[in-house]
Amino acid sequence: MSQLNLETCQIIANAALASATEMGLKPICVVVLDDRASLRLCVNQDGTSIDRHRIAHGKAKAAMSLGMGSRALGDRAEVQAYFIDAVGRMLDGDFIPVPGGVLVKNTAGEILGAVGISGDLSDNDEKAAVAGIKAAGLSADTGA
Protein backbone atom coordinates (compact mmCIF):
# COMPACT_ATOMS: atom_id res chain seq x y z
CA MET A 1 0.00 0.00 0.00
CA SER A 2 1.42 3.36 -0.99
CA GLN A 3 -1.55 5.57 -0.13
CA LEU A 4 -4.19 5.87 2.55
CA ASN A 5 -7.43 5.28 0.70
CA LEU A 6 -10.79 6.23 2.16
CA GLU A 7 -11.59 2.69 3.30
CA THR A 8 -8.32 2.43 5.23
CA CYS A 9 -8.88 5.86 6.80
CA GLN A 10 -12.33 4.75 7.93
CA ILE A 11 -10.93 1.56 9.45
CA ILE A 12 -8.35 3.61 11.35
CA ALA A 13 -10.94 6.10 12.61
CA ASN A 14 -13.52 3.49 13.58
CA ALA A 15 -10.98 1.37 15.44
CA ALA A 16 -9.58 4.43 17.23
CA LEU A 17 -13.09 5.45 18.29
CA ALA A 18 -13.82 1.90 19.48
CA SER A 19 -10.56 1.86 21.44
CA ALA A 20 -11.39 5.20 23.05
CA THR A 21 -14.81 3.91 24.06
CA GLU A 22 -13.30 0.69 25.43
CA MET A 23 -10.77 2.70 27.48
CA GLY A 24 -13.54 4.98 28.78
CA LEU A 25 -12.00 8.13 27.33
CA LYS A 26 -13.68 11.51 27.04
CA PRO A 27 -15.12 12.20 23.55
CA ILE A 28 -12.35 12.38 20.96
CA CYS A 29 -11.73 13.71 17.49
CA VAL A 30 -9.77 11.62 14.98
CA VAL A 31 -7.98 13.25 12.05
CA VAL A 32 -6.22 11.29 9.30
CA LEU A 33 -3.75 13.03 6.99
CA ASP A 34 -2.18 11.51 3.87
CA ASP A 35 1.47 11.55 2.83
CA ARG A 36 1.13 15.19 1.68
CA ALA A 37 -0.39 16.17 5.05
CA SER A 38 -3.70 16.67 3.27
CA LEU A 39 -6.87 15.97 5.26
CA ARG A 40 -8.39 12.60 4.38
CA LEU A 41 -10.84 12.16 7.25
CA CYS A 42 -12.05 13.96 10.37
CA VAL A 43 -14.48 12.39 12.82
CA ASN A 44 -15.74 13.92 16.07
CA GLN A 45 -17.51 11.87 18.70
CA ASP A 46 -20.64 13.44 20.13
CA GLY A 47 -19.68 15.79 22.93
CA THR A 48 -16.24 16.91 21.75
CA SER A 49 -15.39 20.54 22.36
CA ILE A 50 -15.57 22.92 19.42
CA ASP A 51 -11.87 23.06 18.53
CA ARG A 52 -10.82 19.44 19.10
CA HIS A 53 -10.50 18.94 15.34
CA ARG A 54 -7.92 21.73 15.17
CA ILE A 55 -5.88 20.20 17.99
CA ALA A 56 -6.05 16.72 16.44
CA HIS A 57 -5.02 18.20 13.09
CA GLY A 58 -2.12 20.06 14.75
CA LYS A 59 -0.84 16.86 16.32
CA ALA A 60 -0.97 14.97 13.01
CA LYS A 61 0.51 17.92 11.10
CA ALA A 62 3.38 18.17 13.61
CA ALA A 63 4.21 14.51 13.04
CA MET A 64 4.12 14.92 9.27
CA SER A 65 6.07 18.19 9.27
CA LEU A 66 9.16 16.74 10.91
CA GLY A 67 8.67 13.05 10.13
CA MET A 68 8.41 11.89 13.73
CA GLY A 69 5.60 11.19 16.16
CA SER A 70 4.40 14.15 18.18
CA ARG A 71 5.55 12.45 21.41
CA ALA A 72 9.15 12.71 20.14
CA LEU A 73 8.51 16.33 19.21
CA GLY A 74 7.34 17.04 22.74
CA ASP A 75 10.53 15.48 24.07
CA ARG A 76 12.55 17.54 21.59
CA ALA A 77 10.77 20.71 22.71
CA GLU A 78 12.27 20.25 26.15
CA VAL A 79 15.78 20.36 24.69
CA GLN A 80 15.27 22.63 21.68
CA ALA A 81 12.42 24.89 22.72
CA TYR A 82 13.36 27.70 20.33
CA PHE A 83 13.44 25.37 17.33
CA ILE A 84 10.07 23.77 18.10
CA ASP A 85 8.57 27.21 18.76
CA ALA A 86 9.95 28.49 15.44
CA VAL A 87 8.45 25.57 13.53
CA GLY A 88 5.09 26.16 15.21
CA ARG A 89 5.19 29.83 14.21
CA MET A 90 6.23 28.95 10.66
CA LEU A 91 3.18 26.68 10.43
CA ASP A 92 0.89 29.39 11.82
CA GLY A 93 0.30 27.39 14.99
CA ASP A 94 -0.90 24.24 13.17
CA PHE A 95 1.77 22.28 15.03
CA ILE A 96 1.07 20.67 18.40
CA PRO A 97 4.07 18.75 19.78
CA VAL A 98 2.40 16.55 22.40
CA PRO A 99 1.45 12.84 22.25
CA GLY A 100 -1.47 12.00 20.00
CA GLY A 101 0.09 12.59 16.57
CA VAL A 102 1.22 9.22 15.21
CA LEU A 103 2.87 8.47 11.88
CA VAL A 104 1.28 5.76 9.74
CA LYS A 105 3.80 3.52 7.98
CA ASN A 106 3.54 0.54 5.67
CA THR A 107 5.51 -2.69 6.08
CA ALA A 108 8.43 -1.18 4.14
CA GLY A 109 8.64 1.66 6.67
CA GLU A 110 7.38 4.32 4.25
CA ILE A 111 5.31 7.13 5.75
CA LEU A 112 1.76 6.98 4.41
CA GLY A 113 0.37 9.76 6.59
CA ALA A 114 -0.46 10.52 10.19
CA VAL A 115 -3.29 10.20 12.67
CA GLY A 116 -3.99 12.93 15.19
CA ILE A 117 -6.34 12.47 18.12
CA SER A 118 -7.48 14.94 20.76
CA GLY A 119 -10.08 14.81 23.51
CA ASP A 120 -8.59 13.02 26.48
CA LEU A 121 -5.15 13.02 28.08
CA SER A 122 -2.50 13.10 25.36
CA ASP A 123 -1.13 9.67 26.32
CA ASN A 124 -4.62 8.19 25.94
CA ASP A 125 -5.15 9.98 22.63
CA GLU A 126 -1.94 8.35 21.40
CA LYS A 127 -3.07 4.88 22.55
CA ALA A 128 -6.31 5.24 20.57
CA ALA A 129 -4.38 6.38 17.48
CA VAL A 130 -2.03 3.40 17.71
CA ALA A 131 -4.99 1.02 18.06
CA GLY A 132 -6.64 2.49 14.97
CA ILE A 133 -3.51 2.24 12.85
CA LYS A 134 -2.80 -1.33 13.92
CA ALA A 135 -6.41 -2.34 13.16
CA ALA A 136 -5.77 -1.32 9.55
CA GLY A 137 -2.74 -3.63 9.43
CA LEU A 138 -0.29 -0.74 9.35
CA SER A 139 2.60 0.32 11.56
CA ALA A 140 2.26 3.12 14.13
CA ASP A 141 5.28 5.33 14.86
CA THR A 142 4.82 7.43 17.98
CA GLY A 143 8.42 8.58 18.05
CA ALA A 144 8.98 6.92 21.44
DSSP string, 67-95: TS-HHHHHHHHHH-HHHHHHHHHHTTT--
49: amino acid identity, one letter: S
Residue 48: inside a domain, yes or no? yes
CATH of the domain at 133: 3.30.450.150
**Backbone φ and ψ of 24, nearest 5°:** 75, 30
Domains identified in the chain, total number: 1
Instruction: Identify whether the C-beta of residue 140 lies closer than 8 Å to the C-beta of residue 103.
Output: yes
Give the number of other Cβ atoms within 10 Å of residue 39's Cβ.
14
Calculate the CA dihedral of residues 81, 83, 88, 92 and round it to 10 degrees.
Answer: 130
Note down pLDDT in tens along the chain; length 144 residues: 568 999 999 999 999 999 999 999 999 999 999 999 999 999 999 999 999 999 999 999 999 999 999 999 999 999 999 999 999 898 988 999 999 999 999 999 999 999 999 999 999 999 999 999 999 999 999 987
Residue 99: inside a domain, yes or no? yes
Residue 143: inside a domain, yes or no? no
What is the domain extent for residue 22?
A: 6-138
CA distance readout (Å), 68 to 33, 61, 73, 120:
14, 10, 7, 21
